[in-house]
Structure 1
Amino acid sequence: MLDDADRRVLRQWQADPSLAPAELAERARVSPGQLTRRQAKLREAGVVKGVQAVIDWGALGYAVEVSLRVTLDKTQSRAFDEFIVAARAVPEVIEIQTFLGRVDVRLSVIARDMAHYQHLYRSRILTLPHIADIEALMHVARIKSDEALPL
């Protein structure tokens, strides 16, 4: 599916998405025209879903991150769907993951401080539908956070 030139483009693009097209083409060792065609092909194939700005929410005053492991009441047929819809509506929920096993859903929640987190937890999280059990894990340090693929 991908040839060596595609891999070079992807490697350089994910290393620095802000590169100007001419610089990206040079680093990937393709012509600017080839770069444009390859980028279009990678987008159309769904390999590249988009290019986005990654914002350091800590720099914006969010000092607390909590990972919530949620077990849902699976006696309700629409528990997953209704929980996910409601959780998506909470702006401070920055990630939602679903699992097979004892834990059904994991939410990553950010807050400005512990008082803000406590308010969010009581007013927005505990009111989410179909929660049977919830466990909070306080984030201490991010050791590795990398979405770059080894191309």
Structure 2
Amino acid sequence: MLDDKDRALLRRLQADPSLTVPELAALAGVTAGQAARRLDRMTDQGLIRGQTAVIDWAKLGYPLQVSLRVTLDKTVPSAFDAFLAAAREVAEVLEIQTFLGRVDVRLVLVARDLKHYQTLYRDRILALPHIADIEALMDVAAVKSDERLPL
């Protein structure tokens, strides 16, 4: 169970993951030792799953982002596993989500430009196994992208 000190640490960590443990401790009103123990406990419990760098793919030469909604051939028992294993091998695929409903999987991928996307789509995506239907949605703008919740 989280207490107010845990929530204070998590709020500060969400706001600025680059803060050191002593900085987090000072902002949350605990000692550095207490902060380290609390953060370790929350990590061990799986509440904190890690810290990542958020990459601006456009600045790295991949300004095009596309979401692909994929419906798989459900007559094949191993379709999900085979598709997911193959999709993980496509370097430009940043995210894979599975769903219940008409759409089974959503892939988020990046490309350098339309030509690169077309090549990637034809050569790598359409070669993925057990696709029954696929729909491409090209991102126009990210209106909100935030994993922080009020604590």
Q: What is the TM-score when the length of structure 1 is the normalising length?
A: 0.98
Instruction: Look up the equivalent residue of 1:5 and give its one-letter code.
Output: K
Helix, strand or coil: the match of 1:82?
Answer: helix
Output the CA distance in 1 between the equivalents of 2:80 and 2:140: 29
Q: Which 4+ stretches in 1 moved above 2 angstroms? A: none
Q: CA deviation at 1:150?
A: 1.6
Q: Which residue of 1 aligns with 2:76?
A: 76
Output the CA distance in 1 between the equivalents of 2:99 and 2:26: 42
State whether structure 2 residue 19 is matched by structure 1 residue 19. Answer: yes
Q: Which residue of 2 aligns with 1:66?
A: 66
Output the CA distance in 1 between the equivalents of 2:27 and 2:46: 23
Give 5+ residue unaligned stretches, structure 1: none
Q: Which residue of 2 aligns with 1:4?
A: 4
Q: Which residue of 2 aligns with 1:137?
A: 137
Q: Which residue of 2 aligns with 1:37?
A: 37
Q: CA deviation at 1:24?
A: 1.0
Output the CA distance in 2 between the equivalents of 1:92 and 1:43: 29
Any residues of structure 2 matched to 1:89-104 within 5 Å, and which? 89-104=89-104
Output the CA distance in 1 between the equivalents of 2:100 and 2:2: 32
Give 5+ residue unaligned stretches, structure 2: none
Q: CA RMSD in A?
A: 0.7
Q: How many residue pairs are counted as aligned between the two chains?
A: 151
Output the CA distance in 2 between the equivalents of 1:81 and 1:149: 32
